[in-house]
Amino acid sequence: MGISAATAGFVANLEQKILTHGDNESALLLAQWLARFLTSNFCGVYHFKHVEESLARRFSGLKLVRPNKVGECAHVASEVYAYGGHTRLIRNLLAAESRSSRRVLLTRLSNPSAAAAVLDVDQEEIWVCDASRQEQRVRQLAEQFLKYKVLVLHLHPDDVTTAVALLLAKSVEPSLAVHFVNHSDHTFSTAVAHADLVFEVSGYGWSLRKARDTETRSTFLGIPISARNKTSDNTDTGFILTGGAAYKYRPNRKGSLPCIIKALLVQEKSAHVVAIGPKPLDFWWWRLKLGFPSRFTRKVRMPHAEYARYFTNCSVYIDSYPVTGGTGFTEALVAGVNVAGIHGGPNGYGIADALRSESDSEFIDQIISLLRKDPAALAEQALVRAQAREVHSLEAVHKRFISAVQTGELSCPPRELLREQYEFDFRTEWATRTTPFCAGFSGRGELLILPTLLGTVAMTLKSATFAFALVAKAAVATLREFTSKITKK
């Protein structure tokens, strides 16, 4: 499934503008926006090596302050959140490290006290890049990187400025070791081309090593999961939980979870489903709520600690669909919850994938069997749960991490994660679109590149729809920033 000629021309034209732009600030902002575009449009582009190297050469004459080393290793993250698997992965890796050696560098402005809380570290262990302009950020980040011998990257796919700062630091200190944790395993990612080691968290990401040109540098890490048990064994409630980002539930040609839940509630009269993550305007849930007002509950996303209290008392956890979840599915199984899911989305994130069903009807039967405590179904859950704890425990993941970093020993995913065929391809659905997805804008600074983007659209994509989306997203970014300023006052 290839990239369309118009989209290829759009990407190539923007790359040329980045490489030849006379203003470093605008070039970095254009590169950041293009990285976000490539992350949203699955067109087979998985790294940005030549663009990042070209941008780094612009700063080759920059005189950096070379500080004394203050630590062995630092974890570098773009941002952290109170919800989602991205932050929990960082938190669990940090939990296995000595408090005396832990350091977290946040590359985008964030609240250090809030970050420390969600990562369960002391605020003194957090450093935040507070420069406002991209050029200033490059210097500040590069000088901070030079304080350490090893950097472990947990970057957002569009964090081009950090990739440039990283290359600048390595040009000053070639011995600086860089390890990249591939959180966004199925998408384009910045900085992945320059890592000494790439830690893959899933079988799906492992299958894309050739496309990323990381075959000789990749090692399997897996998703670290704290093996805490349920605090109660109240499995007779009929309470079924599903949780995930709202977009993962949007129905498509492959299926609709609201329709499946409706069939389940019709068949199992005592069941009650709670969905955490859908937004109030997600209309595909409305009919289900109207039809079963007392047996279906929708809640918006919430901090993980609060969310965890729900699956502590649920009878069955069901994974998101048609876009499957990553951490949550196996995390629930390891915690002692019985789980059910459907094949069809990206998989290979956890040993729990072995419990996914092949069809809607099989999925419903599986849930009902678990609700009714069928011995065979419970035995299968127990078997896979034991395997999951062996692969995903903090101790097992940290052992693989240390072995790769200290001895260069690379690990392959367990065969349970490699037996999937990974036939699901994000590009399949994306390629059916007549117009690519339009990336949004991050902050007022990026709005400066809007005229350049509109001009490139006119020359290459020639899409009024895409141009309108650009203007609309620019307006949203402006409103968001204006609202933020009022709130702070």
Give per-residue pLDDT as tens, 66-89: 888 778 899 999 999 887 778 888
- 398-402 contacts at long range (C-beta below 8 A, 24 or more positions apart): 398/93, 398/96, 398/224, 400/219, 400/220, 400/221, 400/222, 401/93, 401/96, 401/199, 401/221
CATH of domain 239-392: 3.40.50.2000
Residue spans in the chain of domains classed CATH 3.40.50.2000 = 71-225+393-418, 239-392
List the one residue out of 232, 221, 243 whose CA is nearest residue 92.
221
Pairing between β-strand 177-182 and β-strand 197-200 as defined by DSSP bridges: parallel
pLDDT score recorded for residue 429: 67
pLDDT score recorded for residue 1: 47
At 409, give phi and psi (nearest 5°): -75, 120
pLDDT, mean of residues 19-23: 93
Tokens coding 226: 């704290």
pLDDT score recorded for residue 238: 67
CA–CA gap between residue 366 and residue 350 (Å, rounded): 19
Omega before residue 451 within 30° of 0, cis? no
Question: Average model confidence (pLDDT) for the chain?
Answer: 89
Dihedral, CA of residue 330, residue 333, residue 334 and residue 336, to nearest 10: 160
CA–CA gap between residue 7 and residue 435 (Å, rounded): 9
CA–CA gap between residue 152 and residue 71 (Å, rounded): 13
First-residue to last-residue Cα distance in the chain: 50
CATH of domain 71-225+393-418: 3.40.50.2000
Instruction: Tell me the whole-structure pTM to 2 decimals.
Output: 0.86
Residue 432 has pLDDT above 80, yes or no: no
pLDDT score recorded for residue 88: 85
pLDDT, mean of residues 346-370: 90
CA–CA gap between residue 429 and residue 203 (Å, rounded): 21
Residue 443 has pLDDT above 80, yes or no: no
pLDDT, mean of residues 452-465: 94
Query: CA 339, 343, 345 angle in degrees (round to 5)?
Result: 110
- H or E segment at 316? strand 316-318
